Homo-oligomer: A and B are copies of this chain.
C-alpha cells in the first residue's frame, strides 16, 4: 500500500481514460507533470493524478482553453501563502460552478426546443406540405397561425 506506486504513461493513460499524446501535451503546457522520469526518459505517474486529468477534461468540456485551465488550477508557487492558495482553489471551484450553471441553462433551452419540435413533427405526418430549400417555412401551419418551431424550420431545408 505504498503511496509511491507509479504507473508508466500507457497504464496511466488507461486508468485516466485518455492517451499518450494528450498526456504529453498537458505536460508541455505545464498542466500535469509526471511524478518522476526513469534514466531512459520514461514518464512515471501517480495513480491519484487521474483526478487531475478528469478535472482538466471537465473544464475543457465547459469550454475553457487549456491556458485558461492552467491559470485556474496551476500549482502553488514557492512564495504563495496558504491563504492565497486556498483562495485560488475556492475561486477555481466557484468559477466551475458558474460555468456549470450557464451550461445547464443552455441545455434546458435546447431540450425545450427539441421537445417542441418532436411534438410538432407528429402533426406533420397528417399534412401534405413539404417545405423545400427555396421555401423554408411551413405555409399551412403559418396560415393557421401555428408557426413551425425553430428547430423544425432549421431541419426542413
The A interface is mostly helix, strand or loop, or mixed, namely: helix
| Closest B residue, CB atoms, query A35 | B134
For residue A90, CB closer than 8 A to chain B, the reply is: yes
A111 contacts B107, CB within 8 Å?
A: no
B137 contacts A118, CB within 8 Å?
A: no
The minimal Cβ–Cβ distance linking A152 to chain B, given in whole angstroms, is: 7
Please indicate the chain B residues that have their CB under 8 angstroms from the CB of A58 in the complex: 110, 113
- Please, could you name 5 A-B residue pairs with CB atoms under 8 Å apart, sorted by A? A51-B151, A75-B133, A89-B121, A93-B151, A93-B155
Interface size class of A (residues with CB under 8 A): 35 or more
A48 contacts B153, CB within 8 Å?
A: yes
For residue A46, CB closer than 8 A to chain B, the reply is: yes
Contact pattern, A 100-117, Cβ under 8 Å of B = 1, otherwise 0: 100110110011011101
Please indicate the chain B residues that have their CB under 8 angstroms from the CB of A75 in the complex: 133, 157
Bound complex: CA of A117 vs CA of B91, how far in Å?
12
Bound complex: CA of A3 vs CA of B139, how far in Å?
11
